[in-house]
Amino acid sequence: MTVADDLNVAADIPAKAAPGLTRKGALYGVLTALMVVFCVVPFILVIVISFGRKIEGAAWVWDFTFENYQRFFVGTLWPDEVTFLYLQQLGYSFYFAIIASLLAVLTALPFTLLLTRLKRSTQAIWLVFILSSLSMSEVFIVMGWDILLSNNSGLPKLFQVTGMTQWLKDVGWFQTLRDIGLANPRNVKFKPSEFATILTMSYLVWPYAVILLYPALSRLDPSLSEAARTMGASRWTVIRTVTLPSIRLPLMGTTLLLFVFLLGSYVTISVFATPDKQTTAVAIYSNIRGSNLNAPFGSAQAVILLISASICLYFGHLLNSKAEAR
Amino acid sequence: MLKIDRRTLLKSGAASVAASGLATPLIAQSRSLKVGSYGGYFEDSFKSFVYPEFTAATGIEVESVTQPNSADWLVTMQQAASAGTVPTDISLYGRQQMIKASRIGGLIAPLNVSAIANASNLDSYFVFEGPEGPQGVGAMSWFTALVFNPDEVETPASWADFWDTDTFEASLGLSNVHSSGLLDITSATFFDGEATMMSDEGILAIIDKVREIKPNVTLWWNAESQMEQGMKNGDVIGGQYYLDVANLMAADGFPIQPTFPKEGNLQDYGSWCLSEGSEKSEEAAEFMNFSCDPATQALMSRNIGTAPLVDQSATDLTDEEFAFVSGSPSIKPAYEAYLDNETFIKESWDKMLAES
């Protein structure tokens, strides 16, 4: 192709684009309308409701008050009394989401690395299997783990029939388990506990971690690490200095995505977390649809959760671009 | 020719199908009623045992609608009202939700009590006087009972036994909702019952007492099914649970037994309320009248396991049947306190639960 041909092609474009523009315009119009109706309007509604006022013994009314936001930080009795209950819940939202997303990514990473070294056909089978496991809802997964950790049908039963419980009692470790809330006087128990909560949350997002990491890992050039190995680097040094730096971006991106996803988990927390470690998501639900019908306070909590998540994402992004610049 | 024949045949066929198929529903539709009740076993029992009797007695067909037993339903009704639809003609409300609905306004309509002659069988307490006149007629009553696993522990004589850590360490299942009765039970056991619930100091004293039971609780449930599973699979060996469901589970052989300790069990009741905007007020009155009949109250006790709102002597329930659904003494929830002091009680309760 000559330069002249190129110019001709370029000249053709505006003539063709004219009729396409209206069609494109219409498409954009529809998409914008959809966005406004399904995203922007509900979103604005939540913000507006968060300024509403609760009426004791009834529902709530539209208003413009900052009381709900004030309550989030210091409680309803302020200034007579201060409570950080809602900040504590927000803290646990982050705590569980951070630990569970890190755990999921850290365990999915070696798995996905090994996966990319398998035969193409075997890889495909694994990926289809993992993709299909995404179709299970949170409720299903929590129910499954609930049964697996139950006294008569799960892990504690296994402990009992294999004599592990008795052994733990004999060596005196059983008391330690009771002290940290992982046993009652009769047997070990795994729920509700932090252990069950984090386990289930990581399990929930683990397939996402594999699927998000897979494209980046499968594009890794094996000759790089082979070269490093032939130059005498140990396997660990290769991972640390060659493999990890080259997948830093997808690794960060995946963790952040899973983290945001987990901030809103409801079923896992309400079933597996102890009452002193409940999160904002659960509190939002109990205010909006629970017995007290306090949608304004629920909305205020939702807005604050959203703002905190955005701040986190922003810092994540900042960290990324800083690392890029180096 | 063939074409025309086929067409006429199809036409006449369609017409006859339409005539036979539509005629019956049309007649029934003129006398029908949409009645809400809590889903699952509860609603199924209504559909199998109560509604057919009502239809046989009055000719009014009942369309059953599943509704939750919580403020959730108020949200749904509010949204439906603003959209101009009525999901049910009659809904079933607990007393607290009913008072809330009457205070919110525009959700439940005033009733014509003179058309509900049988309401006189009920204590006047069960005919709820809202700001717009009578707005609810008692439907049935239910108990939240002390339950325990008879394979693991002796029958507790008092709710206070649950505070004994030697027996119940990390083994109880209690509700995590502030208004679901634990405060009333604790107050009846250690304080002066409803009177203590009426002041902030009283509430805080009760909550302090509840705080002491926390090491014994392994499951703070918010859905009935969680407690059911907990008892079935042995995670929980005692707690608070509905008397009727506990009896049914026990009858199915699960390790659960309800008992009336010396302080008694928590008794709440449901009311039938007419939805604002419903055009079926006459049919609704007939249904409420039917429901207040002692025979219907006994029918519900036998088949659903609820306690009757009329005296046992007015029904043909045997002592054994009555003991299955009811008992004494009964602890009444402090409805006023929950409604007027809602935010304070909820936050204090949540704070207590959130302490480690």
pLDDT number for residue A326: 66
- Rounded distance, CA A317 to CA A252, Å? 9
* A85 → closest Cβ in B339, B343, B350: B350
At A198, which amino acid appears? I
User: Looking at the complex, does the CB of residue B152 fall below 8 Å from at least one CB of chain A?
Assistant: yes
For chain A, give the percent of residues with pLDDT over 90. Answer: 52
DSSP string, B283-322: HHHHHHHHHHSHHHHHHHHHHT-PBPSS-GGGS---HHHH
**Looking at chain B from residue 26 to 85, which residues have their Cβ under 8 Å from any Cβ of chain A?**
70-72, 74-75, 78
pLDDT number for residue B192: 94
Question: Which stretches of A172-264 are DSSP H helices?
Answer: 173-179, 194-218, 222-230, 235-238, 244-246, 248-263
Best CA proximity match to B37, nearest among B75, B80, B88, B79 = B88
Task: Please check whether the two domains, B33-142+268-325 and B144-265+330-354, share a CATH topology.
Answer: yes
pLDDT number for residue B30: 67
Q: Find chain B residues with C-beta within 8 A of A85's C-beta.
A: 347, 350-351, 354
* B71 → closest Cβ in A75, A181, A293: A293
Cβ distance of B152 and A178 shorter than 8 Å: no
* Third-level CATH fold of A85-149+190-325: MetI-like fold (1.10.3720)
Which helix (H) or strand (E) element contains residue A3? helix A3-35
Average of per-residue pLDDT across B307-325: 90
**Looking at chain A from residue 52 to 91, which residues have their Cβ under 8 Å from any Cβ of chain B?**
54-59, 75-77, 83, 85, 88-89
- Rounded distance, CA A239 to CA A233, Å? 10
- For residue B346, give the chain A residue with the closest CA: A292
- What are the structure tokens assigned to B139, written together? 């439907």
Q: Find chain A residues with C-beta within 8 A of B346's C-beta.
A: 292
The pLDDT tens digits of the residues spanning A99-114 come to 999 999 999 999 998 9
Domain ranges of chain A: 3-74, 85-149+190-325
Cβ atoms of A73 and A291 within 8 Å: the answer is: no
Mean of pLDDT over chain B: 88
Cβ distance of B235 and A186 shorter than 8 Å: no
Residues of chain A with pLDDT under 70: 1-21, 326
Rounded to 10°, the helix A194-218/A85-116 angle is 40
Number of Cβ within 10 Å of residue B321's Cβ equals: 15
pLDDT number for residue A220: 86
Q: How far is B206 from chain A (nearest CA, A)?
A: 18
* Third-level CATH fold of B33-142+268-325: D-Maltodextrin-Binding Protein; domain 2 (3.40.190)
Q: Which residues of B274-289 are buried (b: 16+ CB within 10 A; e: fewer)?
A: bbbebebbebbbbbbb
Cβ distance of A76 and B343 shorter than 8 Å: yes
CATH number for B144-265+330-354 (one of 3.30.460.10, 3.20.20.120, 3.40.190.10, 1.10.287.3510): it is 3.40.190.10
- Rounded distance, CA A136 to CA A139, Å? 8
Residue B16 predicted with pLDDT over 50: no
User: Looking at the complex, does the CB of residue B176 fall below 8 Å from at least one CB of chain A?
Assistant: yes
Cβ atoms of B310 and B291 within 8 Å: the answer is: no
Q: Find chain B residues with C-beta within 8 A of A184's C-beta.
A: 169-171, 218
Domain ranges of chain B: 33-142+268-325, 144-265+330-354
- For residue A188, give the chain B residue with the closest CA: B235
Cβ atoms of A85 and A297 within 8 Å: the answer is: no
Bridge-based pairing of strands B330-331 and B172-175 is: unpaired
Mean of pLDDT over chain A: 88
DSSP string, A61-115: E----SHHHHHHHH-TTTTT----HHHHHHHHHHHHHHHHHHHHHHHHHHHHHHH
Cβ atoms of B116 and B292 within 8 Å: the answer is: yes
Cβ distance of A76 and B351 shorter than 8 Å: no
- For residue B76, give the chain A residue with the closest CA: A289
For A40, A133, A268, the CA distances from A141, given in Å and listed in that order, are 31, 10, 9
pLDDT number for residue A73: 94
Q: Residue A61 pairs with which residues in a beta bridge?
A: A53
User: Looking at the complex, does the CB of residue B341 fall below 8 Å from at least one CB of chain A?
Assistant: yes
The pLDDT tens digits of the residues spanning B181-206 come to 999 999 999 999 999 999 999 999 99
Residue B20 predicted with pLDDT over 50: no
Burial of A117 (0-12, 13-18, 19+ CB in 10 A): exposed
The pLDDT tens digits of the residues spanning B125-136 come to 899 998 889 999
Bridge-based pairing of strands B90-94 and B265-274 is: antiparallel
Q: Find chain A residues with C-beta within 8 A of B70's C-beta.
A: 289-291
* A270 → closest Cβ in B75, B179, B222: B222
User: Looking at the complex, does the CB of residue A184 fall below 8 Å from at least one CB of chain B?
Assistant: yes
